[in-house]
Amino acid sequence: MAKNIILLGPPGAGKGTQAKRLETGRSMVQLSTGDMLRAAKSSGTEMGKKVAAIMDAGQLVTDEIVIGLIAEQLDRGAAGGFIFDGFPRTLAQADALGALLAAKGTRLDAVIELVVDDEALVGRIVRRAEEAASAGEPVRPDDNPEVFARRLREYYKQTAPLLGYYYAKGGLTQVDGMAAMESVAAEIAKVLDKA
């Protein structure tokens, strides 16, 4: 049965890795806001032209446009359901997503927070940068401790209210994001099998 979930966790927590596993293992589709905006920008559709104009002007895309892009994806469907990644980021977006899912006759089945130790996470990012550099691969611009610390602060500032919001609705499950990749995947699978 298709499940719709939100994966929450700071940058570097492993959301992308776990989402790829869910796509492969459960035929779910990851809806990453950044990916959807980039795809829309180059699509040539009316919505794409709107997104391109806003992004080219260096402005933030409105919640209304992001919800419109998500609605288009929901209409296409996914055998295993959807993984929301990077959305919602605010309480207004959480309300809008809930309303959209209800309008489409579906719902959110689980909100999974990958809980991490911030210091260990910074260490993980530094190691990732060092490994890339020693292998002669490009180092991601975000993989420097100062930039990463700033992204971490922004994440917590934006996301803390969401944790309370979904906890109050009884839909938040915490998973140890510092555990081995297989253990994290097994815990996520348990949550999905119960949902």
pLDDT in tens, 154-169: 888 888 889 999 999 8
Pure H helices in 104-144:
118-134
pLDDT at 45: 82
Mean of all residue pLDDT scores within the chain: 87
pLDDT at 51: 84
CATH topology of domain 5-194: Rossmann fold (3.40.50)
pLDDT at 11: 82
Residue pair 51/38 in contact (Cβ under 8 Å)? The answer is no
Work out the pLDDT band at 50, boundaries 50, 70, 90: confident
Q: What is the C-alpha end-to-end distance of the chain, expressed in Å? A: 10
Residue 9 in 3-state DSSP?
Answer: coil
DSSP-derived pairing of the beta strands 29-32 and 110-115: unpaired
Is the pLDDT assigned to residue 24 strictly greater than 90? yes
Exposure pattern of 167-186 as b/e (b: 16+ CB <10 Å)? eeeebbbbbebbbeeeebbe
| Average pLDDT, integer, range 5-17 | 89
Angle, helices 145-168 vs 91-103, to 10°: value is 50
Round to whole Å and give the CA distance between 20 and 82.
12
pLDDT at 180: 92
Amino acid at 145: P
Is the pLDDT assigned to residue 99 strictly greater than 90? yes
Work out the pLDDT band at 182, boundaries 50, 70, 90: very high
172-176 β-sheet, strand order: 29-32, 82-85, 5-8, 110-115, 172-176
Residue pair 15/160 in contact (Cβ under 8 Å)? The answer is no
Round to whole Å and give the CA distance between 115 and 178.
7
- The structure tokens 């990851």 sit at 30
pLDDT at 154: 84
- Confidence (pTM): 0.82
pLDDT at 187: 96
Round to whole Å and give the CA distance between 121 and 143.
11
pLDDT at 97: 93
Identify which of 62-76, 91-105, 133-147 has the greatest average pLDDT: 91-105
